[in-house]
Amino acid sequence: MTHDRRVLVHDDKAALIESVATRFLTKMADILHEQGHAHVVLTGGSVGTGVLEAINASPDRDSVNWSKIDVWWGDERWVPRGHADRNEGQARAALLDHIDIPAGNVHAFPASDEGLDIDAASDRYAAELKSMAAPESTVPQFDVTFLGVGPDGHIASLFPHMQGIRENDLTVIAVLNSPKPPPERLSLTRWVINSSERIWLVVSGSDKASALGLALAGASRDEVPVAGIRGRHYTDFFVDGEAAAEVPENLIEQPQ
């Protein structure tokens, strides 16, 4: 572990979620003050959605100028637009429907009932990313990218021993045989995630402890995909005590 990869341990899941939500609001205020606009990548899952719910419940929620933030997703399930499994729908219910963010700032992945096949949907999201990128780039500058981690170490929809984790050219891929249902998904690729200024991995539960320990011990990205994740400037693992069970003490920083 180097200076730009930190593990911050919280007492339990509730404390973890509250701390990350508070940190996010503070960081967004700082980023908007410094550069006037921000791009944020969201994740799904109970912890990712819990963070969004905590942001929504915070008295500081409206201190952020949400009109200056563009929101993206790291991955999405290939299901119809209104399906309960879509990360987009969960994020809208938790936060996005409650804040003053323009519709055009919310960049959801295409859905399976919108007349596209999954490969065309992948191409469309890649084109949308490029349309918001600087001239010399294919994706925007992501200021904060949220990620969860599966018990097998997967991040977004990049799973162990599958081609997606090794993709170095495409920005978005169609996943056709996910080992976790549903089998069809869309996902940003690893190099795109790693282009983020800050990656915040928010991890809770004893079932994640082995993957987290292996990742921080130097496992290969093919075996444990989260091991291949490193932001341009910061890679922070926000974890609860159960998820931190196999992290060596010397790698742990106390939350501020």
Handedness of CA 53, 57, 60, 62 (dihedral sign): positive
20-29, 182-191, 243-252: the lowest-pLDDT one: 243-252
Flag whether the pTM goes above 0.75.
yes
Picking from 5, 50, 3, the residue whose alpha carbon sits closest to that of residue 194 is: 5
- Average confidence (pLDDT) over 61-82: 97
- Average confidence (pLDDT) over 166-192: 97
Percent of residues, the chain, with pLDDT higher than 70: 97
pLDDT in tens, 130-163: 999 999 999 999 999 999 999 999 999 999 999 9
pLDDT in tens, 182-199: 999 999 999 999 999 999
**pLDDT over 90 (residue 123):** yes
Cα–Cα–Cα angle for 173, 71, 6, rounded to 5 degrees: 80
Q: In this structure, what token pair is assigned to residue 196?
A: 């983020």
Question: Which pLDDT band holds residue 248 (cuts at 50, 70, 90)?
Answer: confident
**pLDDT over 90 (residue 38):** yes
Question: Which pLDDT band holds residue 256 (cuts at 50, 70, 90)?
Answer: low
**pLDDT over 70 (residue 254):** no
Neighbours of 234 (CB within 10 A): 16
pLDDT at 247: 87
pLDDT at 1: 37
Question: Which pLDDT band holds residue 251 (cuts at 50, 70, 90)?
Answer: confident
pLDDT at 255: 62
CA distance 53 to 93: 9
Q: Do residues 214 and 247 lie in contact, with contact meaning Cβ atoms separated by under 8 Å? A: no
- Average confidence (pLDDT) over 22-30: 97
Please provide the average confidence, as pLDDT, over all residues in the chain: 95
**pLDDT over 70 (residue 3):** no
Structural domains of the chain, ranges and CATH numbers in brackets: 5-246 (3.40.50.1360)
